[in-house]
Each structure stands twice: as structure tokens, then as C-alpha cells.
């Protein structure tokens, strides 16, 4: 699966997703794109999944008819996210195109 990490998604999470191709918006030169433009650009470039920490994405964007799946991590804290890597990987491995999923990151 081709995965794009949005700004705020901790890059070390990439090490848990070795069976996937993971890029960051920053690496692609897309870090200044607004959410709608980022989603459009990612879909055009063949990304299957956007991983973000932006809790407002679903309220700011019309996600109907999107092909790209979206996983929202409900924390930006790498130490907290690190404890949930297995849950995150399982969610990513089973998500379907166009789906939207929020993952709670407990303390």
C-alpha cells in the first residue's frame, strides 16, 4: 500500500509499516498544501492512505467519493503512539479504500 504521512504524523511510525511504501508530505514538497489540495494531490499520485493527526479533517472536507482512505491518530505524541503501533498497523492493514478511521491513543 502507498501511504502518505501528513504533517504532525510522527515519522518513526514508518518503521512499523515496512511492508508498505511510506512517504511524508514534507518529503514530497506538499507540506504547504491545504487539506483538500493535499487529498486531491495524494489521490492523483496513487496514494491509498493518508495518516494524519488532524482531528478536524472530516469536518473541513467532504470525504464522500474519496478513494484514499484516512486514518486519524488522536495524538501527536510519539511516546504515546509508539505504544499503539500494533493497533495502528492492524488498522492500516485492514482498511478499505475511501474509509475514514480514528484511532484513540490512550496515555
- pLDDT score, position 11: 95
Residues of the chain with pLDDT under 50: none
- pLDDT score, position 47: 98
Find the domain containing 25 and state its range. 2-103
Phi, psi dihedrals of residue 101, rounded to the nearest 5°: -140, 130
- pLDDT score, position 24: 97
- pLDDT score, position 97: 94
Distances in Å between the Cα of 17 and the Cα atoms of 32, 34, 40, 101 are: 25, 25, 23, 17
- pLDDT score, position 106: 81
- pLDDT score, position 63: 81
- Extended strands (E) in 1-105: 2-5, 21-24, 49-52, 69-73, 100-103
- pLDDT score, position 59: 81
- pLDDT score, position 77: 93
CB count within 10 Å of CB 59 equals 8
Specify the number of domains making up the chain.
Answer: 1
The structure's pTM equals: 0.93
The answer to whether 1 and 20 have CB atoms below 8 angstroms apart is yes
- pLDDT score, position 56: 86
- pLDDT score, position 94: 94
Amino acid at each position: 500500500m502507498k501511504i502518505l504521512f501528513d504533517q504532525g504524523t510522527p515519522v518513526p511510525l514508518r518503521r512499523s509499516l515496512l511492508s508498505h511504501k511510506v512517504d511524508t508530505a514534507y518529503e514530497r514538497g506538499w507540506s504547504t498544501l491545504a487539506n483538500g489540495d493535499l487529498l486531491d494531490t495524494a489521490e492523483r499520485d496513487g496514494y491509498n492512505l493518508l495518516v494524519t493527526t488532524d482531528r478536524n479533517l472530516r469536518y473541513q472536507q467532504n470525504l464522500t467519493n474519496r478513494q484514499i482512505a484516512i486514518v486519524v491518530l488522536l495524538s501527536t505524541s510519539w511516546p504515546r503512539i509508539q505504544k499503539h503501533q500494533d493497533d495502528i498497523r492492524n488498522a492500516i492493514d485492514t482498511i478499505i479504500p475511501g474509509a475514514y478511521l480514528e484511532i484513540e491513543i490512550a496515555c
